[in-house]
Amino acid sequence: MRKDATYYIVDASVLPEIYTKVVQAKELLETGEAKTINEAVKEVGISRSAFYKYKDYVFKYFDHRRYKILTLSMILYHVPGVLSQLLNRVASYGGNILTINQNIPVHQKANVTITIDISKMEGEIKAFIDDLKEIEGVENLEIIAQE
Question: Is the pLDDT confidence value at 78 over 90?
Answer: yes
Looking at the fold, whether 49 and 70 belong to one and the same domain comes out as no
Domain that holds residue 43: 12-54
Q: How far apart are CA 143 and CA 76, in angstroms?
A: 15
User: φ and ψ at 17, to 5 degrees?
Assistant: -60, -30
The answer to whether position 6 is within a domain reads no
Looking at the fold, whether 120 and 102 belong to one and the same domain comes out as yes
Q: Which residues make beta-bridge pairs with 138?
A: 76
Looking at the fold, whether 73 and 49 belong to one and the same domain comes out as no
Looking at the fold, whether 142 and 82 belong to one and the same domain comes out as yes
Q: How far apart are CA 114 and CA 29, in angstroms?
A: 24
Looking at the fold, whether 90 and 128 belong to one and the same domain comes out as yes
Identity (one letter) of the amino acid at 80?
P
The answer to whether position 2 is within a domain reads no
**Confidence label for 66 from pLDDT (cuts 50, 70 and 90):** low
Identity (one letter) of the amino acid at 22?
V
The answer to whether position 4 is within a domain reads no
Looking at the fold, whether 46 and 69 belong to one and the same domain comes out as no
Say how many domains are in the chain: 2
**Confidence label for 8 from pLDDT (cuts 50, 70 and 90):** confident
Looking at the fold, whether 34 and 83 belong to one and the same domain comes out as no
Helix (H) or strand (E) holding 139: strand 138-146
The answer to whether position 97 is within a domain reads yes
pLDDT at residue 147, as a whole number: 80
Looking at the fold, whether 70 and 122 belong to one and the same domain comes out as yes
pLDDT at residue 65, as a whole number: 56
pLDDT at residue 131, as a whole number: 95
pTM of the model: 0.56
Looking at the fold, whether 136 and 99 belong to one and the same domain comes out as yes
- Whichever domain contains 74, its CATH number is 3.30.70.260
Give the DSSP per-residue string, 75-107. Answer: EEES-TTHHHHHHHHHHHTT-EEEEEEEPPPBT
Question: Is the pLDDT confidence value at 1 over 60?
Answer: no
Looking at the fold, whether 20 and 68 belong to one and the same domain comes out as no
The answer to whether position 1 is within a domain reads no
When mean pLDDT is compared across 69-73, 113-117, 119-123, the lowest value belongs to 119-123
Of 48, 54, 67, 58, nearest to 116 (Cα)? 67
Rg (CA), the chain: 18
